[in-house]
Amino acid sequence: MSSPPRFFRDSSPAGAPGYKRSQFTYRHLAQLASSSSTCPLRVVSHIDLDCFYAQVEMVRLGIPEDKPLAVQQWQGLIAVNYPARAFGIGRHCTVTEARQLCPDLIAQHVATWREGDENFAYRPDAAEHIATDKVSLDPYRLECRRILAVIKDHLPARLQKVEKASIDEVFVDLSAHVYEILLERFPELARPPPYDDPSEQLPMPPLSALDWQADALVDLDSEQAELDDPDWDDVTILIGSEIVRNVRAAIKEKLHYTCSAGVAKNKLLSKLGSAHKKPNQQTVIRNRAVQHFLSEFKFTKIRNLGGKLGEEISRVFNTELVSELLSVPIEQLKSRLGDDTSVWVYNTIRGIDTSEVNPRTQIKSMLSAKSFRPSIDSREQATKWLRIFAADIFSRLVEEGVLENKRRPKSANLHFRQGAAGGGQTRSRQMSIPQGKPIDEEMLFEIAKTLLCQIAQEGRVWPCSNLSLSIGGFEDGITGNMGIGAFLVKGPEAQVLKATTRSAFEPGGAGDTVQPPEKRRRTDEGGIQRFLTKREANREADARLGSDVAAPRGGASSGSEHMPGVTVRPSGPHHQAPVAAHLCSRCPAGFASPEESREHQDWHFAKDLHEQERVGLALVSREPAAASSSHTGTMRSAAAPPKRGVGRPKKTERGQSKLNFG
Ligand code: DCP
Ligand code: MG
């Protein structure tokens, strides 16, 4: 890849009089080396798997490439391979319609979790079990990871900038890598600029023709510029396209998947490029071709203009075409869209995008959800789903590096849609995730149950048509792991630590969306003494559990059996029959008031910490629950127009809207 192709000649000597000079300078070259997002020589690629879920199923089942296959979710289709598309089958079709179009269609249902089962599985009867199954995207997420690994393996580690944009697409900023290859091929570029002045123009590239091999090269308008000599931006994009071709070949060779790619100067253009010619092709948009390429588009096809913003622009300016919007002066855009949005739109339709390729996939929140048709009407049923949600989210947290404390969420939220399917009111409760102990699946399950318990306490909440657990407020590099030692510190320091720990466990924390102020627990007292001595109920529960045994793990011990169905209740001053209106989700205790119930939860928390210290665990060391997760929704940050009233489109992972609520 790094040996000079035969069609290169020598560069024109730098600074030599009479020679045509490049439009680029030595400063631009330095910007390329540092992957500056404003560098005009920048090279970015967007790589998108072809009919991704369908390919995963084909490879998994060993189905030949020319057989029509679609991936089914209940009665709908969520991925369709290219042979099936030739029959007119698309995601809009039902399975029945698709079979009418192509009787030989292989319709493979996605894997599902089944209520009460520990693991997801491919089940032949999944389509008939919409009420008891929840879609699992784990097989696709697993393949996504393998693909990412191949891509990263193929690029020099110190130069790579890869951003996972969704389950089947990545952006790669190739600038620094391209720079290195450029200098290998054209060592004269490594020389200092004439007069040591970085604003000096580069010599022209020494080439008569560029070999684009099998790339789809976006046309230029009319006779324009093809006659112009290639400049360094053409060369950098050519080198980028060589790298991408090799990456795609590696994915095909190692994992048997085809993908399509766009190669251009930024994310906006490369993304449009990858979709331009599918499947299994790459499209190159040279800088000189940008305007012509974009002018043929409807702007609603452009990233972040597909949503409400795009709709509003087409309504206001009565067009959907980039070519027509190009003639609208910036002042006119500003008068209708506001300053920031106008500038963003103005630049975008001209192919200007300086958003960074962000190698850290910044997940903002994770969501696991299920819609119930018919609705469910008991806490026991809901609790079974909470266990699945906890497993699902935990396995994604493991991927996010939570076990290594790389990132950690701060809050958990349970949304509960009350009423028959489609209608009703949404209730939600949020609480902080305790910062003093490692997160594990069980902790998430306990939190979810506590939140459910709070919602259920409101009374008259059943039936439930939709339930979702989400976590958010991710933070990098956590340092605040305290363990039980924090409680044993004396003096003012101890007060601070106690307060921190207790507030971290407060259900009524900052983001609590529903809880009325009077239900928030007091924060004026704390510490393990309080937890271990105060409540008779806690002692009783302690005795029941065994004094040095932390809350039980595993479905049976913390599942519906322990969800208080109002059977065994400790006796004592705090829960005299028949009141047990506030029931603990972890043990058989019941309480007369929500405050007592929350204090009891704090006791559980403190006891867990105690147990953790006792067994000397700094971190939970368990294998990722590969077989117990499902991907439903992950919000990510994305380069986007500035926020404004007209509903900035939110970047969600593709498939989310369709797959969230099995
Ligand atoms: N997906 C989904 N529901 C949607 C869109 C997508 O479940 N409404 C899932 C299935 C797809 C995967 O996400 O396989 C990737 O989405 P793409 O839009 O990239 O579509 P494909 O990869 O299937 O096809 P293409 O070849 O057009 O990229
Ligand atoms: Mg795709």
Please give the structure tokens belonging to residue 322: 């980039």
* Ligand 1, atom 6: closest residue by C-alpha: 655
Cβ atoms of 156 and 243 within 8 Å: the answer is no
Fold of 49-141: MutS, DNA mismatch repair protein, domain I (3.40.1170)
- Ligand 2: distance of its center to the CA of 444 in Å? 32
* Ligand 1, atom 2: closest residue by C-alpha: 655
Nearest-angstrom CA–CA distance, 587 and 385? 19
Residue 223, pLDDT score: 56
Q: Which ligand is nearest to the CA of 55?
A: 1
Q: What secondary structure letter does DSSP report for 133? A: E
- Ligand 1: distance of its center to the CA of 78 in Å? 7
- Ligand 1: distance of its center to the CA of 80 in Å? 8
- CATH 3.40.1170.60 placement within the chain: 49-141
Please give the structure tokens belonging to residue 391: 């497993």
Nearest ligand 1 atom, CA 169: 19
Across the beta sheet with 133-135, the strand order is 120-121, 112-114, 133-135
Nearest-angstrom CA–CA distance, 29 and 39? 8
Residue given tokens 């969501």 in the structure block: 367
* Ligand 1, atom 3: closest residue by C-alpha: 655
Res. 488: pLDDT tops 50: no
Strand partners, 470: 367, 413
Q: Tell whether domain 365-476 is in CATH 3.30.1490.100.
A: yes
Pocket of ligand 1 (CB under 6 A): 48-53, 78-79, 91, 167-168, 278-279, 654-655, 658-659
Nearest-angstrom CA–CA distance, 304 and 310? 8
Please give the structure tokens belonging to residue 131: 């009420």
Highest mean pLDDT among 170-174, 190-194, 202-206, 612-616: 170-174
Sign of CA dihedral 275, 281, 284, 290: negative
- Ligand 2: distance of its center to the CA of 167 in Å? 9
Angle, CA of 269, 292 and 35, to the nearest 5°:
30
- Ligand 1: distance of its center to the CA of 478 in Å? 35
Which of 281-290, 485-494, 559-568 is least confident? 559-568
CA 262 to chain centre: 21
Q: Provide the pLDDT confidence category of residue 378 given band limits of 50, 70 and 90.
A: very high
Please give the structure tokens belonging to residue 271: 């993304």
Nearest-angstrom CA–CA distance, 418 and 206? 70
- Ligand 1: distance of its center to the CA of 51 in Å? 6
Q: Which ligand is nearest to the CA of 81?
A: 1
Q: Provide the pLDDT confidence category of residue 2 given band limits of 50, 70 and 90.
A: very low
Highest mean pLDDT among 245-259, 395-409, 529-543, 552-566: 245-259
- Ligand 1: distance of its center to the CA of 279 in Å? 13
- CATH 3.30.1490.100 placement within the chain: 365-476
Q: 463 preceded by cis ω (within 30°)?
A: yes
Mean pLDDT, the chain, rounded, equals 75
Q: Packing angle between helix 339-348 and helix 330-337, nearest 10 degrees?
A: 130
Query: Which is higher by pLDDT, 225 or 68?
Result: 68
Q: Please choose from 60, 168, 274, 659 the residue to mutate so as to test ligand 1's pocket, defined by most ligand atoms within 8 A of CB.
A: 168
Nearest-angstrom CA–CA distance, 192 and 26? 8
Cβ atoms of 580 and 566 within 8 Å: the answer is yes
Cβ atoms of 137 and 167 within 8 Å: the answer is yes
Nearest-angstrom CA–CA distance, 275 and 166? 14
Query: Which is higher by pLDDT, 24 or 594?
Result: 24
Which residue, among 175, 209, 190, 210, has the nearest Cα to 14 in the 3D structure?
A: 190
Q: DSSP labels for 257-319?
A: --EEEEEESSHHHHHHHHHHS-SS-EEE--GGGHHHHHHTSBGGGSTT-SSHHHHHHHHHHT-
Q: What is the mean pLDDT of residues 347-368?
A: 88
- Ligand 1: distance of its center to the CA of 632 in Å? 14
Query: Which is higher by pLDDT, 219 or 38?
Result: 38
pLDDT in tens, 499-528: 333 322 233 332 222 232 333 333 333 322
* Ligand 1, atom 21: closest residue by C-alpha: 51
Q: Please choose from 46, 49, 58 the residue to mutate so as to test ligand 1's pocket, defined by most ligand atoms within 8 A of CB.
A: 49
* Ligand 1, atom 12: closest residue by C-alpha: 52
Nearest ligand 1 atom, CA 82: 26
Residue 392 makes CB contacts below 8 A (sequence gap 6+) with 113, 368, 628, 629, 630, 631, 632
Residue given tokens 């097989």 in the structure block: 139
The amino acid present at 169, given as its one-letter code, is E
Nearest ligand 1 atom, CA 659: 7
Q: Provide the pLDDT confidence category of residue 247 given band limits of 50, 70 and 90.
A: very high
Res. 552: pLDDT tops 60: no
* Ligand 1, atom 20: closest residue by C-alpha: 51
Residue 262, pLDDT score: 98
Residue given tokens 């997420």 in the structure block: 141
Nearest-angstrom CA–CA distance, 601 and 584? 8
pLDDT in tens, 309-342: 999 999 999 999 999 999 999 999 999 998 999 9
Q: Which ligand is nearest to the CA of 79?
A: 1
Please give the structure tokens belonging to residue 616: 């000397």
Q: Which ligand is nearest to the CA of 654?
A: 1
The alpha carbons of the chain give a radius of gyration, in whole angstroms, of: 29
Cβ atoms of 383 and 563 within 8 Å: the answer is yes
Q: What is the mean pLDDT of residues 161-167?
A: 93
Res. 556: pLDDT tops 80: no
Residue 594, pLDDT score: 58
* Ligand 1, atom 28: closest residue by C-alpha: 50
CA 351 to chain centre: 25
Which residue, among 258, 236, 238, 237, has the nearest Cα to 247 in the 3D structure?
A: 258
Res. 146: pLDDT tops 50: yes
Distances (CA, A) of 253 to 61, 147, 249, 645: 18, 11, 6, 47
- Ligand 2: distance of its center to the CA of 145 in Å? 15
